[in-house]
Amino acid sequence: MVDTNITSITNTTDGTRGMHGTHVKRVVCVAGARPNYMKIKPVMDALEAKGAEVLLVHTGQHYDPAMNDVFFRDLGLRPPDRFLGVGSGSHAVQTGRVMAAFEPLVTELAPDLVVVVGDVNSTLACALVTAKAGPLLAHVEAGLRSRDWSMPEEVNRLATDRISDYLLAPSHDAAENLRTEGYHDDQIHVVGNVMIDTLFANRERALATDALARHGVTPGAYGLVTLHRPANVDDPEVLAGLLKGLGEVAAHCPLVLPVHPRAAERLNALGVPGGIRLVPPAGYLDFIALQAGARIVLTDSGGVQEETTALGVPCVTLRDNTERPITVDEGTNVLAGRDPQRILAIAVRLLDDPPPPRRPALWDGHAGERIARVLLEGGTAGVRPRPTDLR
């Protein structure tokens, strides 16, 4: 059920600050890495359609053209207004660079509101700067939880939620996570999934491409694989086990694996079993076409779990946990872990008996519009003390 609590508050006597949604005029939207681009586009479009001045800041966390330029082009995402160019580094170095570069920009641009999306280092870094600088802060994809503290993304999610004014949850289970953790009801807004907005907006364009022909596959006659998470690709023993399981799946259905830059060197060093064909990284439209045409998808990506559910394609998640359990409970996803025999057993079952297509409520292509309505037309904010308000 959509959160329709449209309430405005003003300065209070308890040290918190509020703002009428209609007072928000200038909004900074932050993107840093490939998953952010698909999430920020529908938010920007909806905010601009309602008359807000929207400035796009790209931190430069992803800078490889295969992971960056092609997605801007495919999505029709305008060039960023500011590019911070922070590049790669350890988690601490990268987060620190983003903070150092973003802080003077917030002072210069003086936004009323900053929107961060997802769970990458740029998300947390810009959230921290915003929380200390004074503008309101909105987190898109709030409330997702894997409960796996070995994932840097889990730390980023939890910390970003804690300092955000607007918690924009993609589904009811994410909102329930936030309530369980003690967040105020007037912070939490169930708005739907912005990834699905972008998917539905581009699905027909993707299906009209020649991506399948270029990759030498036909609809329903191949499986698609993605691997990029450090826990899966950085440890040669873990990666070798996954490749063993994938090789056995390939005996039942040939597999195509677009190679993420993070995994390329390690895959080449280990070698891949027969039946698995490595191809270059795919742009957004090509990848959507490959997902839509696949008989099965095997992945460690959170976004792919969502996209396959929206497309009605069976998905095997090669992880021990997921921050998107709704794709299992109300979608086409099955959590397999990393044991080769379990991966094979689940994949064969889904190949023989695919789950019926289904998707969660509000995954309907209108999440961006709901977000803009909350941020510009109402909704409460300022439930935490601001540094400038402390006496």
- Catalytic residue numbers read 228
- State the SS3 of the chain: CCCCCCCCCCCCCCCECCCCHHHCCEEEEEECCHHHHHHHHHHHHHHHHCCCEEEEEECCCCCCHHHCHHHHHHHCCCCCCEECCCCCCCHHHHHHHHHHHHHHHHHHHCCCEEEEECCCHHHHHHHHHHHHHCCEEEEECCCCCCCCCCCHHHHHHHHHHHCCCEEEECCHHHHHHHHHCCCCHHHEEECCCHHHHHHHHHHHHHHCCCHHHHCCCCCCCCEEEECCCHHHHCCHHHHHHHHHHHHHHHCCCCEEEECCHHHHHHHHHHCCCCCEEEECCCCHHHHHHHHHHCCEEEECCHHHHHHHHHHCCCEEECCCCCCCCHHHHCCCEEECCCCHHHHHHHHHHHHHCCCCCCCCCCCCCCHHHHHHHHHHHCCCCCCCECHHHCC
d(Cα 113, Cα 136) in Å, to the nearest integer? 5
Specify burial of residue 64 (Cβ count, 10 A radius: 0-12, 13-18, 19+).
middle
d(Cα 144, Cα 119) in Å, to the nearest integer? 9
Contact 295, 253 (CB under 8 A): yes
Strand-pairing partners, residue 139, are 116, 167
